[in-house]
Each structure stands twice: as structure tokens, then as C-alpha cells.
């Protein structure tokens, strides 16, 4: 047993926040049956201890004003402490997907872990590690949807490959309309198909539109497709304007009346 006030929180704790209701439920359970599984700590230079695993149990015990807590003391270096904290939270499914991604990224940044190392460490495929880290490419607003559980990690994996503006718009639509991951994929595929079918605007066509508009004194629109076919639209507002167009192309009233 260790005094609770001798234990400091870990700087490697991947969880950003605890669910208050879940913490209250855990505190009630501890009050009834006690702490079944000890927390894990490591000794510090100042004769205090740093919490490595068991963050929620430690918080719940603190809320209950307990003086001591069962603890296992392990002499861990920073890398092993960070890894153990991450693994414990993943095994208990205590982290949301963004917190998981942040924990993995910290292992890369601070301890030079590779994606292959992380895959072996937490028992997941390298592809899953890649996709999880990809969630950090999402805009903060989009990450918030996933943190709250409004969108799943699957939604995030589809969205992170998109430009930021498109991410935000589609994340909002997916949440507002209750889209499944499959539906989101379909919408993105349709948008890509529509974009691919658009022909880049030819500056020669724009110049021709201007020449024709000046010649007929009305708005002119030229549309063309990838095969080279298209149409020319001359827009008039009155019958007199229509007759003026016909005269311009050499048709007299006798020919069309």
C-alpha cells in the first residue's frame, strides 16, 4: 500500500479527460468492494512515485478521500512507462480513437518508435497503426466529432485523406444526416467522379464567348465535353432580341415565319 498523496499523475497518460459518470460508478464500486487490481507506479528521484497504470482507480480513490491505495512499484524508464500506460488504456478500451492516435504519435516523437514497433507493442497490424495515426491529419473540429463519439474512427479514416475544407463540410453532413461510413464513402466517390468529368476551362473558349457576346449584344455561353462536342447558348430576354439574333446570322422574317 502507498499513500495516495505520494503519487503524482503520469505525463505520459494518453487520456485527455475522464467520463464523470464512469468515474462515479468506479468510485461506488471501490467503496463497496475495494480496489481489486493494484495501480502500477515507478519511483521518482524526489522519493515520490509516478503513476504508470491505473489512472481512473487512482482518481476514484482520491475522490473517496482514501489515504492509501494498493500499488505495484516497478523501476521503469520513460519509454517503458509510456508504453505500459498506453497498453493498459487500450486493453481497457478507455481511450477514444484520437487519444489512441496521440499516444502512438508520442511514442514516435519522444522514443523514435517505428510503426512496426508500435504494431508489435499493442498487437495491431501496421496498416491499422497507419490509419490510426492518420486521424491526426483531421482538423481539430473534425477530431472533436470523433472524441465525442458523434463520428467513428471509420468516418475519420475516410475523411483524413481529403483537403481540410472538404473534411469539415462532409464531417458536418455525416453527423447531421447520420451517415454510415459506407454512405460517406459513396458521397466522396460521387464527388470525385463529378470532378473528374469536368473539363478544364479553355481560355480560347472564354475569348470566343466574349467575341460572340459582343457581336450579338447578348450573353453567350459555350459548353464542351472531353470528346470535343458541345453547344453554344445565346440568351435573349425579348422577342425583339431574338429577331435581332436571327438577322445577324442572315435569316429574314420571311424565312422563319
Assigned C-alpha cell, 186: 459513396
Residues 114 and 109: their CA atoms lie apart, in Å, by 10
Q: Residue 166: pLDDT band by 50, 70, 90 thresholds?
A: very high
Among 10, 15, 6, 13, which Cα is nearest to 147's? 15
Residue 105 pLDDT > 90: yes
Q: Mean per-residue pLDDT for 24-38?
A: 87
Which of 65, 57, 103 is CA-nearest to residue 81? Answer: 103
Q: 208: Cβ–Cβ under 8 A, 6 or more apart, which residues?
A: 222
What band does 98 get if pLDDT is binned at 50, 70 and 90?
very high
Residues for the chain: how many in total? 257
Domain architecture of the chain: domains with CATH? 2-193 (1.10.10.2830), 203-256 (no CATH)
- Is the confidence at residue 222, as pLDDT, over 90? no
Residue 215: pLDDT band (50, 70, 90) is confident
pLDDT on residue 108: 92
pTM score, whole prediction: 0.64
Residue 220 β-bridge partners = 234
CA dist 117 and 112 (Å) reads 9
pLDDT classification of 244: cutoffs 50, 70, 90: confident
How far, CA to CA in Å, does 24 sit from each of 16, 28, 71? 17, 6, 21
Amino acid at each position: 500500500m502507498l499513500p495516495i498523496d505520494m503519487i503524482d499523475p503520469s505525463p505520459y497518460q494518453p487520456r485527455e479527460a475522464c467520463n464523470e459518470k464512469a468515474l462515479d460508478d468506479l468510485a461506488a464500486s471501490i467503496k463497496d468492494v475495494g480496489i481489486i487490481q493494484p495501480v502500477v507506479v515507478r519511483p521518482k528521484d524526489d522519493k515520490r512515485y509516478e503513476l504508470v497504470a491505473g489512472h481512473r482507480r487512482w482518481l476514484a480513490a482520491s475522490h473517496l478521500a482514501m489515504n492509501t491505495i494498493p500499488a505495484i512499484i516497478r523501476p521503469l524508464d520513460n519509454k517503458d512507462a509510456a508504453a505500459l500506460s498506453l497498453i493498459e488504456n487500450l486493453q481497457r478500451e478507455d481511450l477514444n480513437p484520437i487519444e489512441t492516435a496521440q499516444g502512438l504519435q508520442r511514442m514516435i516523437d519522444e522514443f523514435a518508435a517505428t510503426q512496426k514497433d508500435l504494431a508489435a507493442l499493442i498487437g495491431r497490424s501496421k496498416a491499422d497503426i497507419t490509419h490510426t495515426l492518420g486521424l491526426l491529419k483531421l482538423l481539430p473540429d473534425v477530431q472533436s466529432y470523433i472524441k465525442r463519439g458523434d463520428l467513428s474512427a471509420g468516418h475519420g479514416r475516410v475523411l483524413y485523406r481529403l483537403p481540410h475544407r472538404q473534411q469539415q463540410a462532409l464531417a458536418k453532413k455525416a453527423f447531421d444526416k447520420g451517415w454510415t461510413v459506407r454512405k460517406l464513402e459513396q458521397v466522396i466517390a460521387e464527388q470525385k467522379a463529378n470532378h473528374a468529368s469536368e473539363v478544364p476551362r479553355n481560355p480560347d473558349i472564354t475569348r470566343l464567348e466574349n467575341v460572340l457576346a459582343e457581336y450579338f449584344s447578348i450573353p453567350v455561353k459555350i459548353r464542351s465535353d472531353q470528346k470535343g462536342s458541345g453547344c453554344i447558348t445565346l440568351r435573349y430576354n425579348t422577342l425583339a432580341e431574338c429577331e435581332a439574333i436571327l438577322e445577324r446570322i442572315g435569316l429574314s422574317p420571311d424565312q422563319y415565319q
